[in-house]
Amino acid sequence: MNLRMFIPEQASTYAVKVDPLFYALTAFTIVFVVGLTFLLIYLGLKYIQKPGSGRRSVHVENMALELTWSAIPAVIALGIFVWGAVLYYDYRNIPANTLDINVIGKQWMWKIQHPNGLREVNELTVPKGQPVKLTMTSQDVLHSFYIPAFRVKQDVLPARYTTMWFEATKVGTFPLFCAEYCGTEHSTMGGLVHVVEPAEYQQWLAGGPSLTPVQAGEALFASMGCATCHAAGDASRGPHLEGKFGAEETLRDGTVLTVDEEYVRESIMNPTAKVVKGYTPLMPNFTSQLNDEDVSNLVAYIKSLSAVN
Ligand code: HEC
Ligand SMILES: [Cu+2]
């Protein structure tokens, strides 16, 4: 039997941190299962009813014993909770200097888009030793992006962006899966992650297409007529979008929110959901004219209009 089947290689900084917790949990489980089963059988046999054995109930009170067997498991359980919480915080806290890659899930493939616009299908090429952030969405149903060797997994939802990050530590090729049942060919929805040296990644990127997501978004912004209402300077028809990303926005109902990918996406696909204070909701609904990739490109463009990234 090949243990590798059950324990994938550790190929990210996070894998190295998660595995000790996993082994600790497994060890505790084994100790308790084996220990309790042994005691159950041993004591059952030892005190088995024989002719003449006394069956009067004995009342014993032992405060020290009670406290011990409550306190020790409590410390173990809380210890595991804190350990898990610290790791989860690390996993959700995306570092600032990431390489940003877009992922679109669709029945039944993964479409990947690199910062310079280069695309891959069911392959994800990333440099070693650099934090990578994936911004993910789905074109149809729920999927889940899963790279066992990196110990990272995140649901991918239609009409929403989810993110996850990792830093690969080993050059090599690792499997990639969809981990959410998404239809007949769910089991074939997967691919390979290629981790290469940073220089090789740059070289590989250089062979890519000329239009980056930002450029593609800018072209759409003009061709879809967004600019007629959102042109720089004149904010009479629609709010101008320079410096908007990452800033706070006040809505008609008084809610204040921070402009992020999710909000921009919703503003484009469902403009009346959240209407900006001081404006009439006259923005048309673009759902039928833009696909997910277009929206991602528009979001990238609107993002690029702000200094913050
Ligand atoms: C007919 C005019 C018009 C067109 C065309 C239009 N918008 Fe808008 N847009 C508005 C108005 C008015 C608002 C503010 C009211 C609201 O939130 O619905 C708005 C709001 C937004 C917001 C939220 C801005 C903020 O300040 O929070 C974004 C993002 C946006 N539009 C993007 C786009 C994109 C991308 C396109 C092209 C695909 C587009 N708009 C086309 C009029 C328009
Ligand atoms: Cu799937």
Please, what's the largest Cα pairwise distance for the chain? 100
- Whole-number Å distance, alpha carbon 253 to ligand 2 midpoint, is 37
> Rounded CA gap, 294 and 308, in Å?
22
Alpha helices in the chain (DSSP H): 13-46, 63-92, 198-206, 213-223, 226-230, 261-269, 292-304
- Average pLDDT in the chain: 87
The pLDDT value recorded for residue 5 is: 67
Name the residue type at position 280: T
Q: What does the pLDDT average to over 99-126?
A: 90
- Whole-number Å distance, alpha carbon 215 to ligand 1 midpoint, is 19
According to the per-residue pLDDT averaged within each range, which of 41-45, 236-240, 290-294 is highest?
Answer: 41-45
Nearest CA to ligand 1 atom 7: 283
Ligand in closest contact with the CA of 156:
2
Give the residue with greater pLDDT, 17 vs 208.
17
- Whole-number Å distance, alpha carbon 304 to ligand 1 midpoint, is 16
Q: What does the pLDDT average to over 50-71?
A: 82
Nearest CA to ligand 1 atom 32: 268
Q: Which two tokens stand for residue 70?
A: 């409550």
The pLDDT value recorded for residue 225 is: 80
Q: What does the pLDDT average to over 10-14?
A: 92
Q: What does the pLDDT average to over 196-222?
A: 81
Cα torsion through 239, 245, 250, 255, rounded to 10: 140
The pLDDT value recorded for residue 3 is: 64
* Contact call for residues 194 and 204 (beta carbons, < 8 A): no
- Of 111-115, 180-184, 232-236, 273-277, which range is least confident? 232-236
Q: What does the pLDDT average to over 84-101?
A: 91
> Rounded CA gap, 105 and 170, in Å?
25
* Whether the predicted pLDDT of 1 surpasses 60: no
- Whole-number Å distance, alpha carbon 239 to ligand 1 midpoint, is 7
Cis peptide before 108 (omega within 30 of 0): yes
The pLDDT value recorded for residue 129 is: 92
* Contact call for residues 304 and 214 (beta carbons, < 8 A): yes
The pLDDT value recorded for residue 208 is: 65
Ligand in closest contact with the CA of 241:
1
Ligand in closest contact with the CA of 181:
2
**Contact partners, residue 167, CB within 8 Å, separation at least 6:** 12, 13, 14, 129, 130, 131, 132
Q: What does the pLDDT average to over 58-79?
A: 90
The percentage of residues in the chain with a pLDDT greater than 70, rounded to a whole number, is 94
Nearest CA to ligand 1 atom 24: 239
The pLDDT value recorded for residue 53 is: 67
Residue of 161, 221, 230 best suited for mutating to test ligand 1, as the one with most atoms within 8 Å of CB? 230
The residue among 190, 147, 138, 135 whose CA lies nearest residue 172 is: 147
Between the two ends of the chain, the Cα-to-Cα distance in Å is 48
- Whole-number Å distance, alpha carbon 51 to ligand 2 midpoint, is 64
**Confidence band (pLDDT; 50, 70, 90) for 54?**
low
- H or E segment at 156? strand 152-156
- Whole-number Å distance, alpha carbon 178 to ligand 1 midpoint, is 34
Q: Which domains are assigned to the chain? A: 1-40+68-210 (2.60.40.420), 213-304 (1.10.760.10)
Q: What does the pLDDT average to over 32-45?
A: 94
Q: Which two tokens stand for residue 54?
A: 């006394």
Ligand 1 pocket, residues with Cβ under 6 angstroms: 224-226, 228-230, 237-239, 241, 244, 249, 259, 264, 267-268, 271, 275-276, 279, 281-284, 286, 298, 302
Relative to the CA of 239, which ligand 1 atom is closest?
Answer: 26
CA-to-CA dists, residue 203 to 59, 126, 208, angstroms:
78, 12, 9
* Contact call for residues 157 and 178 (beta carbons, < 8 A): no
Give the residue with greater pLDDT, 164 vs 6.
164
**Confidence band (pLDDT; 50, 70, 90) for 241?**
confident
Q: What does the pLDDT average to over 228-232?
A: 79
> Rounded CA gap, 20 and 199, in Å?
32
Q: What does the pLDDT average to over 48-76?
A: 83
